Amino acid sequence: MHVTVKTGQPESTSTACLILGVFEGGKLTATAQAVDKASQGAIKALLKSGDLKGKAGQSVMLHHPAGLACDRLLVVGCGKEDAMDITTYHKVVKAALTAARTTAAKEALVCLGELEVNGRDAAWKARLCAEVAAQLGYRYDQTKSKKETDLPPLAKLQWWVADATEARLAKRGIAEGTAIAAGMTLTKDLGNLPGNICTPTYLAEQAKALGNHYKNIKVTVLDEKAMEKLGMGSLLSVSSGSRQPARLIVAEYNGVTTARKRKPVVLVGKGLTFDAGGISIKPGAGMDEMKYDMCGGAAVLGTLKAIAELELPINVVGVVPASENLPDGNANKPGDIVTSMSGQTIEILNTDAEGRLILCDAITYAKRFEPEIVIDVATLTGACVIALGKHASGLLGNDQDLIDALLDAGRASGDRAWQLPLWPEYDEQLKSPFADMANVGGREAGTITGACFIGRYTKGLRWAHLDIAGTAWDTGANKGATGRPVPMLVQYLLNRVAAKK
Ligand code: BES
Ligand code: MN
Ligand code: ZN
């Protein structure tokens, strides 16, 4: 859906569908009042009828209301005025666009930017609309022989604003929302593709395609031979049981054109294209979902796409270790000891804790970019799904300022994280009698010990770890990749750019 900005009188603007908000208790927004007046009380009459209570997300469609220039008037409930917050606003905008998409309207004029949302500005609100519009339009059909044909005709949205100042802000917001949505779409597509198509080689090819498309992105791909030379014994031990060769994808986005070299933010994303568990094989039920185990890597590529679209003045490097984790005669086994690129040795007690084994070598590799910040993104532990469900990503790290900035970016973008402690007591669970560390720390605090393991490879770095095991995809009826945490990461980078100005 294409979104543009519109000023003027909504009541006299001709449109296929005018969208307005009313609050619970019957209070009208400013534009709703003007429209009500022009239509000789059509909205008040609707409220009086009792059909619309104003509950957040509820809506009623009126056809050809008298006195107005619109074919349809969609009145959307916004909940209680003083209870309006980011989550409710999201719900309202989503409900409005969903309802408009059930009609034959090809375009709509959306007047929901005037709602007060915790001091969020016109850019933020317009951005949310652009994001929601793109999300509703997302379809996965790459592996279906018949493409869906009866798609909703709604293709154009006009986002109404009061004046030129708001228009300027809203335009920026729409550009951001559209870029974030484009990044999320890439992330979702890669996530939804099955493991037999989305292999490490395929992921690398997609990264290369990104590099060809954006002049600011340079992509290098290391093959197993190159990784062997670098001493990535931990990463390679994971791919040894697989016939698909591993890849290390390095995508450098260069947005700072000045001669002064700015240290990059490095994003490291787990790119496990299928996780069967290896010799410590997983139970069969739901194993198909382990095609999503590369969503961290996909989110890193999606984030790079979004910031390249926005041409953000910042340097960001994406590092994606890509591998399968399968059992065969050459696979790593419980008890095996491998040497990571950092020189530290690892006793593999559970071959299913493979994410950390590929991430540690990728992070050691990332040190060559002299990063200002390192953030790794991984579907790392089932324990995180148990702890936080699908609403928040797990967040841990060694730098509280960085963590606070990410928490903040998560709140602002509606893509939230929640911090867990990374105390040294937990790290002791990784002790091994035979190597520098074990790759698992027992049943207790699995998300934290997973982060502790990665923490052993981030000495001297400002580092944060996002466990997206619960947030990267939905299961059940809405099964599919979510595109998270692209919104949080892009917001974090946007905030960084704004702070440096
Ligand atoms: N990719 C999984 C984590 C996962 C499981 C994500 C379920 C989402 C849903 C990861 O590689 C894994 O298998 N982790 C193990 C770690 C354990 C062996 C310490 C887990 O969570 O069971
Ligand atoms: Mn695993
Ligand atoms: Zn995994």
Does 351 contact ligand 1 (Cβ within 6 A)?
no
pLDDT tens per residue, range 276-331 = 999 999 999 999 999 999 999 999 999 999 999 999 999 999 999 999 999 999 99
* Contact partners, residue 242, CB within 8 Å, separation at least 6: 323, 324, 325, 326, 328, 331
Q: Give the residue among 72, 89, 103 at the shortest CA–CA distance from 131.
A: 89
* Contact partners, residue 208, CB within 8 Å, separation at least 6: 219, 221
Res. 262 pLDDT band, cuts 50 70 90? confident
Residue with tokens 């580092």: 463
Q: Is 356 a catalytic residue?
A: yes
What's the average model confidence in pLDDT over 1-26?
Answer: 95
* Residue of the CA atom closest to atom 7 of ligand 1: 382
CA of 401 to the centre of ligand 1 (A): 28
Q: Is the pLDDT of residue 235 over 80?
A: yes
Closest approach atom of ligand 1 to CA 472: 8
Give the pair of three-digit tokens for residue 82: 């003083």
Helix (H, G, I), strand (E, B), or coil: what is residue 317? strand
Cα 461-443-469 angle, rounded to 5 deg: 60
- Ligand sitting nearest the alpha carbon of 387: 1
Average pLDDT, the chain: 97
Give ion ligand 3 contacts, CB < 5 A. Answer: 272, 275, 293, 355
Does 446 contact ligand 1 (Cβ within 6 A)?
yes
Give the pair of three-digit tokens for residue 269: 């994303």
- Residues 85, 360: Cα–Cα separation, whole Å: 39
With a threshold of 0.95, does the pTM exceed it?
yes
- Ligand sitting nearest the alpha carbon of 276: 2
Q: Give the residue among 4, 28, 23 at the shortest CA–CA distance from 159.
A: 4
pLDDT at 258: 72
Which of 294, 352, 390 to mutate for ligand 1's pocket (most ligand atoms within 8 Å of CB)?
Answer: 352
pLDDT tens per residue, range 365-423 = 999 999 999 999 999 999 999 999 999 999 999 999 999 999 999 999 999 999 999 99
Does 485 contact ligand 1 (Cβ within 6 A)?
no
Does 352 contact ligand 1 (Cβ within 6 A)?
yes
The most distant pair of C-alpha atoms in the chain lies apart, rounded to whole Å, by 82
Residue with tokens 């410590």: 280
pLDDT at 306: 98
What's the average model confidence in pLDDT over 92-118?
Answer: 97
pLDDT tens per residue, range 434-460 = 999 999 999 999 999 999 999 999 999
pLDDT at 271: 99
What's the average model confidence in pLDDT over 477-500?
Answer: 96
pLDDT tens per residue, range 31-54 = 999 999 999 999 999 999 999 999
Measured from the Cβ of residue 360, the count of other Cβ atoms closer than 10 Å reads: 29
For the chain, the straight-line distance linking the first and the last C-alpha, in angstroms and rounded, comes to 32
- Ligand sitting nearest the alpha carbon of 383: 1
Closest approach atom of ligand 1 to CA 293: 1
Percent of the chain whose pLDDT exceeds 90: 96
CA of 321 to the centre of ligand 1 (A): 17
What's the average model confidence in pLDDT over 140-160?
Answer: 94
Helix (H, G, I), strand (E, B), or coil: what is residue 380? coil
pLDDT at 260: 63
pLDDT at 259: 57
Q: How many CA atoms lie within 13 A of 257 on its CB side?
A: 4
- Residues 53, 46: Cα–Cα separation, whole Å: 9
Cα 56-61-66 angle, rounded to 5 deg: 125
